[in-house]
Structure 1
Amino acid sequence: MLTLTGKLLNLRALEPEDLDFIYDIENDESIWEISATQTPYSRFLIKQYLENAHQDIYEAKQLRLVMVSKEQETIGLIDLFEFDPKNKRVGIGLLIAKSENRYKGFGKEALQLVCEYAYKHLNVHQVFANIGEENEASIKLFENLGFQQIGVKRDWNFVNGKFKNELFYQKLS
């Protein structure tokens, strides 16, 4: 089982015990804009997802890790997606579930750990992120870790009756 260890938190593979946590996140309409979700997920579907979460990133083209504090509190999720070994790139996204856990360094450390993992173990040349133009906290986080904005996807997402831009960030190894 994959575990990445930092000073503030550990990143670990999904476990069956994460069902309620994943269910709550996937069904939180306030973050659907970030995850491109449009409909609720049933416990049954999430249970099936967790049963298949053991798939290798080379097979599934994605990897979801749980962020766990040193006090064993589940903090959030960090995902690698659109893994493309031929072109040596992977997308990254993260979510801190509770607002009281934000701005404490968890996101920064998780992002550092996963980028290091991607460069060292997956042999990628670049990690990229898609960030909503209004998500100032994520923009600051990614820029502080060396990601550069390389593009703007104009009117990319239609949210609550209006189009929103999405920024494309990239970090090369």
Structure 2
Amino acid sequence: MPHLIGDAIMLREYRREDLVEMREWCNDPEITQYLSDAFLYPHTLNATETYLNTMLDSSSESKGFVIADRQTELYIGQIDLFRIDWKNRCAEMGMVIGSVELHNQGIGSAAIRLLQQFVFEELNLNRLQLEVHDFNAKAIRCYTKCGFREEGRLRNKHFSRGKYSDIVCMAILQEEYLSARSGV
């Protein structure tokens, strides 16, 4: 798998040594409150290792990258593609920055831009989509900044902390990405 190199970060392959950093965030409610219900229950070491092993041996339908520091290649988070539909040329993306201290530093938008370049210019996909909780305003701003548009909402789809919230469906098309990249 190629490394995708940015100014401060890189997207690289998963490595066995990433397990330590993955374990640091996978049961941290400050991080997991914004993720899917896969994190509703505590993640065991075995569950995290199983996920990592599927990424290492490419047995997963999902394909992904570790977000890493460009100089040290140390793990910062993950950005993955799943539900890849080659016929219709679309995929869904998910991302996590594994440390609250690293939030709001532009790492997420840098990772998304590298992934978009790969998705639209190398894989020739036509659509990249995602779902985000409506209460995750920082992520929605990041996605909007990277060219994603809200396409709809799954009303009251998510229940957490005693109340329902919407799931916001967002996407960017290849033509929108290329237009923004060329400055048109």
- TM-score (normalised: structure 2): 0.84
Whether contact under 8 Å (1:82, 1:91) holds in the other structure is yes
1:86 has 2:87 as partner: yes
Whether contact under 8 Å (2:24, 2:98) holds in the other structure is no
The residue number in structure 2 matching 1:156 is 157
Equivalences for 1:21-170 in 2 at 5 Å? 21-33=21-33, 34-36=35-37, 37-56=39-58, 60-72=60-72, 73-170=74-171
Structure 2 unaligned runs (5+)? 175-184
Q: Secondary structure at the match of 2:56?
A: coil
Deviations 1:33-67 (A, max 9, x none): 323222222222322322221355xx633123211
Q: Secondary structure at the match of 2:43?
A: coil
Whether contact under 8 Å (2:155, 2:166) holds in the other structure is yes
Whether contact under 8 Å (1:152, 1:165) holds in the other structure is yes
Mapped to 1, the partners of 2:56 and 2:76 lie a distance apart of: 21
State the one-letter code of the partner of 1:12.
R
Following superposition, the deviation at residue 117 of structure 1 comes to 0.8
Whether contact under 8 Å (2:158, 2:164) holds in the other structure is yes
Q: Secondary structure at the match of 2:68?
A: strand
% identical equivalent positions: 26
Mapped to 1, the partners of 2:71 and 2:100 lie a distance apart of: 17
Q: Secondary structure at the match of 2:55?
A: coil
- TM-score (normalised: structure 1): 0.89
Following superposition, the deviation at residue 11 of structure 1 comes to 0.8
Mapped to 2, the partners of 1:60 and 1:122 lie a distance apart of: 18
Mapped to 2, the partners of 1:29 and 1:139 lie a distance apart of: 19
Following superposition, the deviation at residue 102 of structure 1 comes to 1.9
1:14 has 2:14 as partner: yes
Query: Which deviates more from structure 2 when the two are superposed, residues 150-159 or residues 119-128?
Result: 119-128
Mapped to 2, the partners of 1:8 and 1:47 lie a distance apart of: 28
Superposition CA RMSD, Å: 1.8
State the one-letter code of the partner of 1:51.
N
State the one-letter code of the partner of 2:6.
G
- Cα gap change, 1:55 to 1:151, in 2 (>3 Å): farther
Structure 1 unaligned runs (5+)? none
The residue number in structure 1 matching 2:181 is none
Q: Secondary structure at the match of 2:87?
A: coil
State the one-letter code of the partner of 2:14.
L
